[in-house]
Amino acid sequence: MIRIFRFFAAVLLAVAMGLPAQAFETRAKSAFVMDMTTGTVLLSKNADQPLPPASMSKLMTLYVTFEAIRDGRLTLDERLPVSRHAMSYGGSTMFLDTTDRVRVEDLLRGIIVLSGNDACAVIAEALSPDGTEAGFARFMTQRARQMGMTNSTFTNSNGWPAAGHRMSMRDLALLSRRLIEDFPGFYPMFAETEYAFDGRAPQNVRNRNPLLGLGIGADGLKTGHTQEAGYGLTGSAKQGERRIVFVISGLETTRARAEEAESIVNWAFRQFVEKSIVSAGTEVARANVWMGDATSVGLTPAADVTTLVPVLGGDEMQAEVVYHGPLHAPISKGDELGELIFAPGELPETRVPLVAVRDVPRGGFMARLRTVSEHLLMRLRERSEGTL
């Protein structure tokens, strides 16, 4: 029988944690804020609910396109044709028509800066397994699942309102992080404030991201708006060595979106400081082992653990160590055996994998006899307690 063993490890985390941070009361219907540097989740509101993402879903089209360029399946100078289907899109566009053959680099800026629905469709048809935008959307859905975005389903390339086209705020944050980390060469495009393609659309040359140019470190990523989704923003900002990513959705006006986004950035950087929790290799707990040459094994994080804590703090933070047992030998050093769970202040909980600090080979006859005896005693004790 597998059991879940839980015990507290308070002595381990002697960091400033007395007073909780003032919770951020967002007006957004759904939101997710994460500190990329430490992985600390600062805010989560309906973050796993699949919702209409509007143009924020263009970030997935961009990720797949960047992968194609990296892998040599597409080049920045390649010119792609514009189909009637791509030209048929309304809303925010590059005003492309079927006489155009457009450079991939222009299409990328058309998506990032101008939010071009037509530009997305052009790239989608070029990269689609079957040459259609619908086929590209199915491919995006599969790729999203591979990346861990379990609450994302795409029916088109640009977020045009459609039944079943959904993403969660957590998925958008995960995608944003991957864009920043996997494609640093392309990421500066997201901070560009203007792009005038061929002079044909003077009414659509400015980036709609309201945070760019405010001097608060904002450098991406994508706005979105439809009647069903409301106004949203997937954003990122960097101040010093820290970077945050955040997603908000369901705001009622562009002004509300701008105010909420700026407030979130200021709150995230001003109300928290980074603290070291525990170093890799430091034993934080011991777990019982059966059938081994040792009766227990130490647990440690595989990497140094840091987190954000409220600026106004106290002395100590409680943490919980959880593992599924009994653990059976043999165990190899580095095997993932449990989790360290802690919540800085009133923030959502953080889970850190714990691994074995050493090998525990299978024991000899006496070790197996000891394990059998301990198991029998435990069963007898449980049976006795059950009769009380």
For 193-206, what is the mean pLDDT? 88
Catalytic residue among 57, 83, 92, 115: 115
Reported as a single tens digit per residue, the pLDDT across 135-173 is: 999 999 999 999 999 999 999 999 999 999 999 999 999
Determine the pLDDT at residue 369.
55
In the chain, beta strands by DSSP E: 3-8, 30-35, 41-45, 79-81, 101-103, 218-226, 230-239, 242-251, 272-278, 285-290, 296-301, 305-310, 319-325, 327-328, 336-342, 350-356
Reported as a single tens digit per residue, the pLDDT across 325-364 is: 778 889 999 999 999 988 776 777 888 999 999 999 987 6
Catalytic annotation present for 222: no
Return the closest-CA partner of residue 31 out of 175, 279, 232, 182. Answer: 232
pLDDT confidence band for 380 (50 / 70 / 90): low
| Spatial distance between the Cα atoms of 117 and 90, rounded to a whole number of angstroms | 7
Determine the pLDDT at residue 44.
94
Determine the pLDDT at residue 20.
43
| Spatial distance between the Cα atoms of 67 and 75, rounded to a whole number of angstroms | 11
Q: Is the pLDDT of residue 5 over 60?
A: no
In this structure, the number of other CB atoms found within 10 A of the CB of residue 320 comes to 17
From residue 7, how far is each of 29, 165, 272 by CA, in Å? Answer: 36, 42, 27
In this structure, the number of other CB atoms found within 10 A of the CB of residue 252 comes to 11
User: Which domains can be identified in the chain, with CATH numbers?
Assistant: 3-16+277-385 (2.60.410.10), 30-270 (3.40.710.10)
For 64-88, what is the mean pLDDT? 98
Q: Which residues are CB-neighbours of 256 under 8 A, at least 6 positions away?
A: 27, 231
Q: Up-side HSE of residue 303: CA atoms within 13 Å toward CB?
A: 7
Q: List the alpha helices (DSSP H) in the chain.
A: 58-70, 84-87, 104-112, 117-127, 133-146, 169-182, 254-270, 365-386
| Spatial distance between the Cα atoms of 263 and 24, rounded to a whole number of angstroms | 9
Catalytic annotation present for 58: yes
Amino acid found at 195: Y
Catalytic annotation present for 115: yes
For residue 238, the cross-strand partners are 243
Mean pLDDT of the chain: 88
| Spatial distance between the Cα atoms of 28 and 247, rounded to a whole number of angstroms | 9
pLDDT confidence band for 309 (50 / 70 / 90): confident
Catalytic residue among 29, 30, 57, 58: 58
Q: What percent of the chain has pLDDT over 70?
A: 86
From residue 113, how far is each of 8, 39, 187, 236, 365 by CA, in Å? Answer: 49, 28, 12, 15, 69
Catalytic residue among 29, 45, 55, 92: 55
Query: Exposed, middle or buried, 374 (CB in 10 Å: 0-12/13-18/19+)?
Result: middle
Determine the pLDDT at residue 299.
94
Reported as a single tens digit per residue, the pLDDT across 84-94 is: 999 999 999 99
